[in-house]
Amino acid sequence: MTQPQPSHTTHTPGRVRVLTGAKPTSELHVGNYFGAIRPAIEASHDAGKEVILMCVDWHGLTDRSKILEPGKYTAGLLATYLTMGFSLEKNMIVLQSEIPEIPEIAWYLSCVSAVGLLERAHAYKDALNSGKEPTAGLFNYPILMAADIVTFDAQVVPVGKDQSQHLEYASDMVKLFNNAVGRPVLFEPKALIQETPLLIGIDGERKMSKSYGNHLPLFAPKKEIEKRIKEIKTDSKGLDDPKDPETCAVFQILKSFASKESIAYMEERLRTGTGYGYGHAKKDLIDEHERVFGCKRELYEHYINSPREMAQLLTPSHNSARQLAATVRQRVRDALSLGIL
């Protein structure tokens, strides 16, 4: 059942506030670019949207054996979005661990959420079933995620299907909180479930993933990119045989990031076959990767090596985000009649 939304929010008239979360837990690859990075960058150029891209480093800490990863990968994640053209003009890039209002609001949400709700969370149940010993951080993960969303009055949250339970939980927590205080204080977000197909890896078998080791990096040295592309598995069709682009991993990977012209060119050459073998396709993929990512390698390295400059670039975002978060925090504290100063 839909409930009334708060009459005072921080929304910008004419723009829908879209909140996207990105976890800095590994080196980014072409699959991430296709499924997560490019959509967020495109949204940042849409005049009807106000995108808050949150690097959710706290969410990356929930496995104690990987607790050092967010600290290691955050700069790369931020540099990637900046290098590939995320527009900061009317949008924000926010580092979750710089926003103290989030854990405060997470605490309020935890005080209206039943333990049973968290016990039913897929990620927690999977960890238990696979014999792991989940940390309390993993158990509380859905609360922290709901707090990310409500702290910024997010209207729309685009996520993959695997995150739909987290969005349902966020809605549930908003309702529980609003009911407990007797008025609409938190804004209930809408989940936008993305149907983006999964990009295949260089093994030509499974989805591209860092954990399968079948990924194609974005800004690795050219030599490494060439080596990875040459390793892409193909079938045994000969130079002059017509080839099916749909089942060709080289084409599928190219299609996920290339220009329309390059996609049309390779598709046509593969279908016709004549004089165009997989070796040619791989060479074209190497060139296109160089054109889209390789030519930005220097800029990416520059950001990574100049953390100060990156911080400066993100300071206005950070300040706007803190202001938003402070407004929502105050609204919540007022509803709870907390504080005496």
Q: Could you tell me which residues are beta bridge partners of residue 200?
A: 207
Using the rule CB under 6 A, is 67 a contact of ligand ADP?
Answer: no
Using the rule CB under 6 A, is 36 a contact of ligand ADP?
Answer: yes
DSSP for 323-339 reads HHHHHHHHHHHHHHT--
CA-CA distances (angstroms) from residue 25 to 37, 155, 331?
14, 26, 33
Using the rule CB under 6 A, is 134 a contact of ligand ADP?
Answer: no
Using the rule CB under 6 A, is 50 a contact of ligand TRP?
Answer: no
Tokens of 168: 């349902």
From ligand ADP, ligand TRP, none, which one binds at residue 328 (CB under 5 to 8 Å depending on kind)?
Answer: none
Using the rule CB under 6 A, is 159 a contact of ligand TRP?
Answer: yes
Selected from 18, 56, 95, 185, the binder of ligand TRP by CB under 6 A is 56
Phi, psi values for residue 16, rounded to 5°: -90, 130
> What is the CB neighbour count within 10 angstroms for residue 213?
9
Residues in the chain: 341
Work out whether strand 16-22 and strand 49-55 pair parallel, antiparallel, or are unpaired.
Answer: parallel
Instruction: Point out which span in 24-32, 74-82, 230-238, 266-274 binds ligand ADP (CB under 6 A).
Output: 24-32
Output the residue with the shortest Cβ distance to ligand TRP.
21
Using the rule CB under 6 A, is 199 a contact of ligand ADP?
Answer: yes
Using the rule CB under 6 A, is 248 a contact of ligand TRP?
Answer: no
CA 304 – CA 170 distance, rounded (Å): 34
Nearest-approach distance from CB 183 to ligand ADP, in angstroms: 35
Alpha-helical runs (H) found in the chain: 30-32, 38-44, 69-83, 101-110, 115-119, 122-129, 136-151, 164-181, 222-230, 249-255, 260-272, 278-292, 297-305, 307-336
Restricted to residues 164-223, the positions that interact with ligand TRP (CB under 6 A) are 166
Indicate the helix (H) or strand (E) that contains 258. Answer: none
Cβ-proximal residues to 257 (8 Å cutoff; 6+ apart), any chain: 30, 33, 34, 38, 288, 289, 292, 293
Selected from 19, 21, 26, 284, the binder of ligand ADP by CB under 6 A is 26
User: Which lies closer to ligand TRP via its Cβ, residue 98 or residue 301?
Assistant: 98
Restricted to residues 309-338, the positions that interact with ligand ADP (CB under 6 A) are none
Residue labelled with tokens 């929502």:
328
CA-CA distances (angstroms) from residue 290 to 34, 222, 283?
16, 8, 11
Using the rule CB under 6 A, is 209 a contact of ligand ADP?
Answer: yes
From ligand TRP, ligand ADP, none, which one binds at residue 31 (CB under 5 to 8 Å depending on kind)?
Answer: ligand ADP
Selected from 17, 23, 215, 243, the binder of ligand TRP by CB under 6 A is 23
User: Which lies closer to ligand ADP via its Cβ, residue 35 or residue 245?
Assistant: 35
Selected from 180, 198, 311, 336, the binder of ligand ADP by CB under 6 A is 198
Selected from 92, 149, 254, 310, the binder of ligand TRP by CB under 6 A is 149
From ligand TRP, ligand ADP, none, which one binds at residue 262 (CB under 5 to 8 Å depending on kind)?
Answer: none
Using the rule CB under 6 A, is 55 a contact of ligand TRP?
Answer: no
Q: Which residues bind ligand TRP (CB under 6 A)?
A: 19-21, 23, 56, 59, 145, 148-149, 157, 159, 163, 166
Q: Which residues bind ligand ADP (CB under 6 A)?
A: 23, 26, 31-32, 34-36, 160, 196, 198-199, 207-211
